[in-house]
Amino acid sequence: MSTSFPLVYAASRASVPERGAMWRALRDQGARIVSSWIDEDGAGQTADFSDLWSRIEAEIRSADRLVLYAEADDFPLKGALVEVGMAIAMGKPVYLVLRNVELDPRNFRPLGSWAAHPGVHRIHEVAAAVFNPDLVDPSVGAGAPAHWRRRMP
């Protein structure tokens, strides 16, 4: 078991002020969150979106994992989905923390079928996703894809 916390890229809806505040609070508690967007999530705070997306790509590349947090009212997601796609393309594990979000068992809406990718895992607690270097979440239900029910890397 590793003794240091993983480097985490935090993805969520930036236009919801509580999301950036949640990630900053976790970082203040010692989480190793590399997402710079959480420090410029207010309206008009990002001066250059081209620079932002270059940073996002570099931050995801440097991270050990990406954690996507979403609540039922956060849909549709936009940039967070691009971030997830980048992480999957880079071979980074993606952990989904979905509060009050029901996924359609056939097509995984409102997320989409990408949620069935073998590198995507569902976990129920944000703290575990950002602090635990050796993820296991036995609370995932029997209706989830098989890889959501096994030991998570």
Residue 85 backbone phi and psi in degrees, to 5: -60, -40
Q: Which residues contact 69 (CB under 8 A, 6 or more apart)?
A: 10, 11, 12, 19, 22, 97, 98, 99, 126
| pLDDT for the residue numbered 148 | 56
How far apart are alpha carbons 93 and 114 in whole angstroms? 13
Domain boundaries 7-148, CATH class: alpha beta
For the stretch 95-138, pLDDT in tens is 999 999 999 988 999 999 999 998 999 998 999 999 988 874 44
Cβ contact 55:36 at 8 Å: yes
pLDDT tens for each residue of 73-86: 999 999 999 999 99
Residue 152 has pLDDT above 80, yes or no: no
47: Cα separation from own chain's centroid: 24
Largest Cα–Cα distance of the chain, in whole Å?
45
Sorted by where each begins, the domain ranges of the chain are 7-148
Tokens of residue 52, six digits? 């932002």
The pTM of this model reads 0.87
Pick the closest to residue 65 from 99, 36, 90 (CA basis).
90
**Is it the case that residue 47 has pLDDT exceeding 50?**
yes
Q: What is the pLDDT of residue 139?
A: 45
Q: Please say if the pLDDT value at position 151 is more than 90.
A: no
Among candidate residues 77, 66, 106, 62, the one with its CA nearest the CA of residue 16: 77
Q: Which helix (H) or strand (E) holds 8?
A: strand 7-11
How many Cβ atoms are within 10 Å of 43's Cβ, its own excluded?
Answer: 7
